[in-house]
Amino acid sequence: MSAPNLPAVDMPTEFFQGNITEMHSSEFANTILPLYSGAPVTIYVGSTGKKYTIPKALLCARSPYFSAMFKGDFKEGVEQTAMLELIDGVVSVRAVENLVQWLCIGRVTFEEPTSEESISAAIEFSHFVDMCGIMGTENLVADHIRDKIRAGPVGFSWTYPRDPGTNTQYITSKHIISASHLPLGHAVREILAAAAVEEYLQRDSHKFAEECHNLPGFSADLLAAVKKTLLTVSSSRGTVDFKEPLSEEMMPLYRSTPIDDSNDTSNCSDAITILLHQYHA
């Protein structure tokens, strides 16, 4: 996502993109700690009245967007002050505060009143750091979303070991739509697609069928996740099992046709052939 209201400039090519929580203490003390001192910059967020004073060196070392803004010849560079316009799903007080937390301690809590809102905050943060040209947060955010999903109650089902929609109970259409605008291969896109695999395989109609038709990016992500899951298929005693992507636990595929595996229980080619026919469309 391109940065709004900022002319194209030649940005530095090297920025620190690692996670400070994974750094050796000596490396942190010598490369990151000095960035906390020195001249600050001030960032205002829309007309909310909120402002944040952040060490300039720390911010600019992580973000080519802010580096160009505060180190260039723009008004912001002269005044060392910037105003960020509010953008729905991208720039908000919450997104800026999450960035400040990540800059200072290398992690973000995303603790909102509901799990749905926590996932919304995580996706919003991903868009904001993408706008800022910051890398190194993708897996952290995806892990948070996975944890929120897995912390939910397991839905009951008479037919399945659990409700196949268990992984998608906190995921909304808005989440899918917003995440589809993140870069291809982004970990957040991949985790949302992985969460939809179980229901896609187990039911004729799944929660995000409409999104599959309307969002080519999401349908491609889901197809990739399903293809990866099919590689985990195994057959035993006439049933077909697959590894559920989030829990990594083997689950029976209830839409599969029983197969004869009496000759070779380690050979799953028949099971995979059946699955490919069933989900070819």
Closest residue by Cα to residue 157 from 193, 197, 191, 199: 199
Mind listing the pLDDT tens digit for each residue in 129-153? 999 999 999 999 999 999 999 998 8
Tell whether 109 and 226 lie within a shared domain: yes
Task: Decide if pLDDT at 10 tops 50.
Answer: no
Please indicate, yes or no, whether residues 133 and 114 belong to a single structural domain of this protein. yes
CB 132 within 8 A of CB 99: yes
Please give the residue range of the domain that contains residue 178: 91-151+160-231
Q: In the 8-state DSSP scheme, what is residue 223? A: H
Do 79 and 140 have their domain in common? no
pLDDT digits (tens, 9 = 90+) for 14-30: 555 666 666 565 666 66
Please tell me the total count of domains within the chain. Answer: 2
Query: What is the pTM (predicted TM-score) of this model?
Result: 0.82
What pLDDT score does 18 carry?
Answer: 63
What is the C-alpha separation between 45 and 75, in angstroms, rounded? 16
In the predicted structure, residue 3 carries a pLDDT above the cut 50: no
